[in-house]
A and B are shown apart, each in its own frame.
Chain A
């Protein structure tokens, strides 16, 4: 599903080049759940940004669902994301001026094929997704009126709105208490299994990473280990 080859990223910092990612090769299978772990500054977020086509690598290529992202324009990559990718962020990033329901509707409205769906269908789908994350009664609330956990659940509903083939999650529980975080991860896994989405999770929480099928460790921009978790999410599901 995702293939990165010789991926490097260099930023200029104080006039000096800073190599944040150094010749990373990576392959993520379809429908798998991969956790990327590492200390602060190890290049996790940069890797996630490159895999999602949010930035361009200094060297190397990224192919997602058979599409070489480097051959696409910036808007081309945006279109690609609208069709294939979902996001969950550490700070939720709900649009503050939109209600919970409207936030979930946004990805569906952004898709080119949205023209074939009418507003009512989109609204009903969004409502169903909110129901799925247990927030049907909060549909008309604005993000500021929701708790952190509720906001992240709305963000999850938004992420799955287009039934994306890949979901990128950047420290999705980083701003939540343990219990709420746990509930959010469970939800994420359930949706992943239901919709057969490939899940790429960036975290420095090893407990959270243990839910994944596979854990990739980064240090100083290089992959230092790539391990398959025995049991992984099945182990969690069996509990």
Chain B
């Protein structure tokens, strides 16, 4: 029955509480909303990927290679075709394309496909059916971006290599492509049969070869693997199934969405702080009611249960609202993140995400509310007789227990949400560290304002400053709320600034802005003259010599690969195709760390002896990470295979390379005089002023040297910027949740001491203070609190931003002070405005009315 009374009291009291606890409800709604949105969205992507696994590959099985398939595998494919098995080959390479009508010219991905591909998924195009006409003679269809970039129209003639193609249509949706792929490298599709005639598949051209199979039966796939896996492995051909591909994509999306999930969780935790402060205020307002009920014989646990039920009820309402909000956002996210997602992500109500959202919302809200709710138990009935009675403070084991439960909840949820347990614990530690640092800052602020009190300042300033340290001040709660909000906003801002900088190509004045590749040896001199005459400075010409690793210190790669993992060099490093170069000087993006360069200059240590030439062995300089992967060091011998010709080399120096710098960077550099005769191509870097001049150069080049590709770096920069911007949009979109939650927490924190503030201000007015003076006092207090708390949050954000950029994203940290300054000004301004609006009653109403209301 007592429990019945608790429920009745909860209901009766709750009827009037909803409006007052709107901060509580909105805080939890925001947190739950962001989590539900992210979880539902994740479920959408995973489900769509699962449903479309075959469509994403366009086949059941794909075999891929960076080189033309070896004859043995060609024979397998031919015999399968002869048995009328479904096999379709595709070949992808980069080439310049010239629109003869618009004279637009650009580097695009060219994909040559066999008829029948893709076996799964529907290709949508305009005009309908355009996809199939590419097999009728030299015809092409293209991504929408190609049309825009070339200013092309259906019916135009395109020059690709040495063949003229008719542009027959626009591919709107090819299920095998991810949205962002077509943004980075828009594609043109032609029949594979036309590729040889273009002359693009010359030596050294970067092409990727695929064989796609329709094998719906698992048995067929297993049989194919059993029969061919030795051949595939020996020739380093990659075997993928639709399921594996979907899993890989799914894992990538999962990682991203888990990072977003952490942001959602941060919003939920901020909401939790809002809940705690709202309940704290609510319970403080209910002290008399509780005391009276205690006088009438209500038990501590009855009252605690009543308010706990109220909090849980409100949390339920907030969570349900949050679920609604989350579903709305879930529908919005695909638009915000469009271009970054696989095509065909459909939204569907995820009951699991909704249910989890509600449970999580109620649980987190109750956990945060528990501490303040337990205050109910400490209310003495004597307060009903003596309002100012304060029972002596005691250590409350239950409150300590509640705090531990809350901490466990926070850590547990973070670990569940994070991409890995370590990251989850790291995130939780960062959050706890931030909270602790902000708390310490607030305590320090209280001490400092007391210690360095501005005795000589005007009365409003003195009063405003003293508000920071006198009894029942709001310094700690506001510093926590504001500092946390500023921390989240600041960290996101700094990471964004660093990423933007990292992906900004150094294409400014004086730097290269055109990259020419696939230049054949017989073209080199002519192309150099051709480009050099229009370039504004000298060209940088770098030879590229493709090769594979064949032995380390005399042990063949095949033998090394058979060793157990952990005891052998990384298989990736042993199997990959390398592009080496040879040159006399070390470049600006490289630093020698050990050994001797050809000219006798040494690295850090005394490495004399390593640089001496050994007859018949080429000297090489290796990048440190690769040396580590290959488990080699100075003096070790590495044998390379250059188009069937073995070349032995000895590592005589080790370098670090700044890969982020836009240079032609290499893992391995050979001493000049060693590779000049090997089959090779060249890369040329040039700077040509003027957008029009660059376009003209590209057009003339493509007509004279069809196989040479040109990349306009300023255009590439635009594309990278666009992609980054889209990713940022997604992060900011979620950041809004944290920001709004932060403002709610601020409102909650300010209302904690609203009644006290109102009463004191009314007393001041009674004693003769003018409205302006009261306004000044409050402005000083809020401006001080806002600016200092925000500054503390932003200083912590600098640490967090630095950690995130250097440890998670591995890009150089950029301290964007202008951005931090803007955040600082904004948050401070919002604090003053919210604070003054909250106290408006004090300023505008007659003092007597205020005193009567708040029990003066």
Contacts and interface: CB of A to CB of B under 8 A. Distances in A.
Interface in B296-343: 296-302
Given A93-B288, A95-B289, A97-B17, A49 B296 contact: no
A234 B412 CA distance: 71
B8 A93 contact: no
Given A78-B298, A114-B1, A97 B385 contact: no
Interface residues of A, number: 34
Contact of B297 (A85, A95, A115, A170): A85
Chain A binding site: helix, strand, loop or mixed by DSSP?
Answer: helix
A93 B384 contact: yes
A78 B294 CA distance: 6
A81 B386 CA distance: 18
Contacts of A85: 297
A93 B296 CA distance: 11
Contact of A110 (B298, B300, B380, B392): B298
B12 A97 contact: yes
B5 A97 contact: no
A114 B299 CA distance: 14
Contact of B385 (A49, A74, A83): A49
Interface stretch (A101-109, A192-200, A221-229): A101-109
Contacts of B593: none
Nearest to A107: B296
A111 interface: yes
A112 B2 CA distance: 7
Interface in A73-88: 74-75, 78-83, 85, 87
Interface in A51-87: 52, 54-55, 74-75, 78-83, 85, 87
Interface residues of B, number: 30
Contacts of A139: none
Given A54-B380, A55-B380, A114-B1, A81 B385 contact: no
A42 B384 CA distance: 18
Contacts, number: 87
A79 B299 contact: yes
Most B Cβ at <10 Å: residue of A12, A74, A158? A74
A80 B2 CA distance: 15
A95 B295 CA distance: 12
A54 B381 contact: yes
A110 B15 contact: no
B4 to A, nearest CB: 8
B293 interface: yes
B282 to A, nearest CB: 12
A96 interface: yes
Contacts of B297: 78-83, 85, 107, 110-111
Nearest to A116: B1
A75 B380 CA distance: 11
B300 A75 contact: yes
A208 interface: no
Contact of B382 (A55, A83, A97): A55
Given A75-B299, A83-B297, A109 B5 contact: yes
B82 interface: no
Interface of A: 12, 45, 48-49, 52, 54-55, 74-75, 78-83, 85, 87, 89, 93, 95-98, 102, 106-107, 109-112, 114-115, 158, 170
Interface of B: 1-2, 4-5, 8, 12-13, 15-17, 288-289, 292-302, 380-382, 384-386, 392
Closest 4 CB pairs of A and B: A82-B297, A115-B1, A97-B16, A81-B297
12 contacts: A54-B382, A81-B295, A82-B298, A87-B295, A87-B296, A89-B385, A96-B16, A97-B16, A106-B296, A109-B5, A111-B297, A114-B5
Given A48-B385, A49-B382, A75-B300, 15 more contacts: A45-B385, A49-B385, A49-B386, A54-B294, A55-B382, A74-B300, A82-B298, A87-B292, A87-B384, A89-B385, A93-B288, A95-B292, A97-B16, A107-B297, A110-B297
